[in-house]
Amino acid sequence: MKLPLRINGAEGLVEILSPGPACRFRLGEGPEREADVRTPEPCVYSILLDGRSYDAHIEETPAGLVVVIDGHRFEIQVLDPRRWKRKSAHGVGEGPQAVAAPMPGKVVRVLVAAGHAVEPGQGLVVVEAMKMQNELRASRAGRVLSVSASEGAKVAAGEILVTLE
Amino acid sequence: MFRKVLIANRGEIAVRIIRTLREMGIATVAVYSEADRTSLHVRMADEAAAVGPAPSSESYLRIDRILAAARDRGADAIHPGYGFLSENADFAAACEDAGVVFIGPSAGAIRKMGSKTAARQTAIEGGTPVVPGTDHSVTLEEARAFSAAHGYPILLKAVAGGGGKGMRLVEHEADLESAFRNAASEAERAFRNPEIYVERYVSHSRHIEIQLVGDRHGNMIHLGERECSLQRRHQKVVEECPSPLVTLHPEMREAMGAAAIKAARAAGYWNAGTVEFLVDANHRFYFLEMNTRLQVEHPVTELVTGLDLVRVQVEIAAGLPLTIRQKDISWRGAAIEARIYAEDPYNDFLPFPGTLTRLTRPMGPGVRVDGCVYDGWTVPMEYDPLLAKLAVWGATRDQAIERMIRALREYDVGGIRTNIGFFRQILEDEELRAGRLHTGFIDEFFTRHRPPEPPAALAAVAALAAGLHTVSRGRPADADSTGPRMSAWLKSGRKDLLQ
């Protein structure tokens, strides 16, 4: 089974010829290799490869898999081969800029309203999480298109609070 | 001695206090907000009482509800921990009025030292040098006037401060207004007191503090220093005892210890307390503030002195005289503590609340974990995201550092981001190894280093593990593939498994 994947942003390919315990696999176009693989706990893979011992811990997240080995973190998306070729070509344009919550928290203050002109560095919204307040600022000059944040509202990480023209 | 003690706190410090009380044969009462019903301190205590909704202003900061819980459960003393009401003189006075012993200093001593500006005045009167600053809270205009006279950078600090809350470094006039507003608002939320004062910012300074204990019979000793220069957002993240600077200049310990005792005596202080000093590049020290409570980083002092500071606090509160004299105190080896936070160190240390999906704690020689988390626990977003304090002891500072790196490598927390990997990186740093520390160390570290690149050999193993996991699940784990496509994967996966 050939699995194209993206590992910390870099593209790769792993082919599982036989799963554990006597695992045979191939990385990219490399030679066939063998590893001894056990799962002593759910989502934990004990891998003996070329005499070395590795404990790989796996987390399933909405954005893909997170694999942690010796405290090193790898974000891995296993891709569907049929969608592999379809890559989005459009880059980041000059269009509206969305200001999103950098962390889950609560909106404590909204400092602008739709239609306001803002300067670079001007405060837009203050979000609090774990007793720490963060002021989100405009990264460029522009006009406020919309404000979806309201004071006292709980917000998720990545939730758009303000859009700038 | 007390029969039952209520712990007016939550998280790791509540758990840590419960442990000593249990060793002393004293029953424990936990308090909890609606967000903390399943937190570890509630599960560990003998008894527990609800004190209100999740926001701390409606629960852990409610003096009336805490005292009602103490009365209802029949507690004869209250340990405030750190943060929350621990440096609130009104709370200490209210305990006294209610006939419950406050495990800490008197309300009068907290008033003299708990307010940062009053403490500066007490220190000046006691003849201890202080950093130039205002001796009262200021308005925005007064802060502007101070900067005009002393120049930038300046530090805005909460009069009621602690833990870096309500503190802002201001380097330019243009940032003053927004920094002042945010510091005051943060202070109001954290301490119910928005007052701000100003200090001149001394760059490349160290933060070294002296641990004191004194009884109600006039005996007071110091337990040496802690080096707390490694900070992010003005909050300590790595602390050690002894300080590498004091190890090179042993006379500093006696000088700072004597100055700390003098300042505390001027306030009529008893119980455990900490005097914080700023130490400049010429090793001159200045009084910063006194923390009239147990410190987060007290374990490093415990590891090198062999004392249990919570036990000492409880004995002093019960009216017992200190059984140890200054000459009995010795400092053995070296200890380091790392504060494990739910945060992303490579994204400005922003908090990262969430649910723990996996937890493996370090164990083995010389390792101590003061934690409050368990597998499946959700880190609440209402409170400080401290998950645990990892402290290690070693015969020398170098051995303690190696042991800390080893323990961090064993520490595995899944489901959320933590600063564990960052600590491993920073402890390898040559400047840190050489003990050349200052409070801007971490900010500067990021100008010298990038996030660590995992070894390529591990990336190959990670790819293999991801592949095996996907095969065992029968589908790729990025879940935007829908029904029919999933079953195609399933078929293909099963076919491969049969080969």
Domains and their CATH numbers in chain B:
4-103 (3.40.50.20), 132-200 (3.30.1490.20), 206-448 (3.30.470.20), 458-498 (no CATH)
pLDDT for position A81: 57
pLDDT higher than threshold 70 for residue B217: yes
What confidence tier does B437 reach under pLDDT thresholds 50, 70, 90?
very high
pLDDT higher than threshold 90 for residue B118: no
d(CA A44, CA A30): 25
Q: Which amino acid is at A113?
A: A
The distance of A114 to chain B (nearest Cα, Å) reads 21
DSSP symbols for B16-80: HHHHHHHHTT-EEEEEE-GGGTTSHHHHHSSEEEE--SSSGGGTTT-HHHHHHHHHHHT-SEEE-
Least confident stretch, A153-162, B169-178, B203-212, B478-487: B478-487
d(CA A95, CA B144): 39
Least confident stretch, B34-43, B135-144, B451-460: B451-460
For residues B189-217, give the mean pLDDT: 93
Beta carbons of B468 and A37 less than 8 Å apart: yes
Residues of B annotated as catalytic (active site), given as ranges: 293
d(CA B480, CA B412): 28
d(CA B13, CA B50): 18
pLDDT for position B165: 85
Residue from the list B414, B424, B461 with its beta carbon closest to the beta carbon of A47: B461
pLDDT higher than threshold 60 for residue B499: no
What confidence tier does A95 reach under pLDDT thresholds 50, 70, 90?
low
Residue from the list B385, B477, B492 with its beta carbon closest to the beta carbon of A65: B477
Dihedral (C-alpha) B81, B82, B84, B90: value to the nearest 10 degrees? Answer: 80
ipTM score of complex: 0.70
Least confident stretch, B45-49, B128-132, B299-303, B424-428: B128-132
Tens digits of residue pLDDT in A2-25: 999 999 888 899 999 999 799 999
Beta carbons of B481 and A5 less than 8 Å apart: no
Beta carbons of A72 and B421 less than 8 Å apart: yes
Whether the Cβ atoms of residue B370 and residue B302 lie closer than 8 Å to each other: no
pLDDT higher than threshold 60 for residue B235: yes
Please name the helix (run of DSSP H) or strand (run of DSSP E) that holds residue B143, with its range, or none.
Answer: helix B140-150
For residues B221-233, give the mean pLDDT: 96
pLDDT for position B476: 53
pLDDT for position B475: 56
d(CA A151, CA A131): 16
Count of A-B CB contacts under 8 Å: 182
For residues B387-396, give the mean pLDDT: 97
- Find chain A residues with C-beta within 8 A of B358's C-beta: 43, 57, 59
pLDDT for position B126: 80
For residues B425-442, give the mean pLDDT: 96
Residue from the list A64, A106, A123 with its beta carbon closest to the beta carbon of B478: A64
Beta carbons of A43 and B469 less than 8 Å apart: yes
Beta carbons of B182 and A37 less than 8 Å apart: no
Residue from the list A17, A19, A131 with its beta carbon closest to the beta carbon of B383: A131
Q: How far is CA A122 from CA A112, B172, B173, B183, in A?
A: 9, 15, 14, 17
Residues 6+ away with beta carbon under 8 Å from B164? B231, B233, B234, B235
For residues B256-264, give the mean pLDDT: 95
* Chain B interface, best mutation among A2, A77, A80, A126, by max B CB count within 10 A: A80
Residues 6+ away with beta carbon under 8 Å from A66? A58, A59, A73, A74, A75, A76, B414
For residues B253-271, give the mean pLDDT: 95
Query: What residue has token string 């440096």?
Result: B87
The distance of A133 to chain B (nearest Cα, Å) reads 7
Mean pLDDT of chain A: 84
Residue in chain B lying closest to A54 (CA): B461
Q: Could you tell me the domains of chain A?
A: 2-80 (3.30.700.30), 97-164 (2.40.50.100)
Closest by CA position to B100, among listed B55, B59, B68, B122 = B68
pLDDT higher than threshold 90 for residue B389: yes
pLDDT higher than threshold 60 for residue B478: no
Beta carbons of B178 and A67 less than 8 Å apart: no
* Chain B interface, best mutation among A3, A32, A49, by max B CB count within 10 A: A3
For residues B338-356, give the mean pLDDT: 90
Whether the Cβ atoms of residue B103 and residue B79 lie closer than 8 Å to each other: yes
Tens digits of residue pLDDT in A50-74: 989 999 999 988 888 999 998 888 9
The distance of A56 to chain B (nearest Cα, Å) reads 7
